[in-house]
Structure 1
Amino acid sequence: MGRAIASVKGVTEVDVNLETKEAVVEFEETRTDLEQIRAAVREAGYEPL
């Protein structure tokens, strides 16, 4: 999942914790938005919250 999120243009940092099933994402709001990040998570086979 981390690679999928990192591939979104504008994402600057991703920290995925598989134990807690959480990801902390830093991104440039002028280059992407949460919906694009959520779409990348779905494409990787996960369901974003």
Structure 2
Amino acid sequence: MPSKFAEVTSRNFSPKLAPELSDEARKAVNAAFDAMSTWRTETVQL
């Protein structure tokens, strides 16, 4: 039975939270969020 813990929507980093970040930094933050989301989903499915 799938866990509700794994049922999350994708989130993106909001530029409003840190307007001084460069586009490159925002992309890096989004990549980190994506990686953590993937890791979380894979961990729950084990």
TM range (shorter): 0.3 to 0.5
Q: Which of the pair has more CA radius of gyration?
A: 2
TM-score, with length taken from structure 2: 0.35
Return the structure number with greater strand share: 1
TM-score, with length taken from structure 1: 0.34
Return the structure number with greater helix share: 2
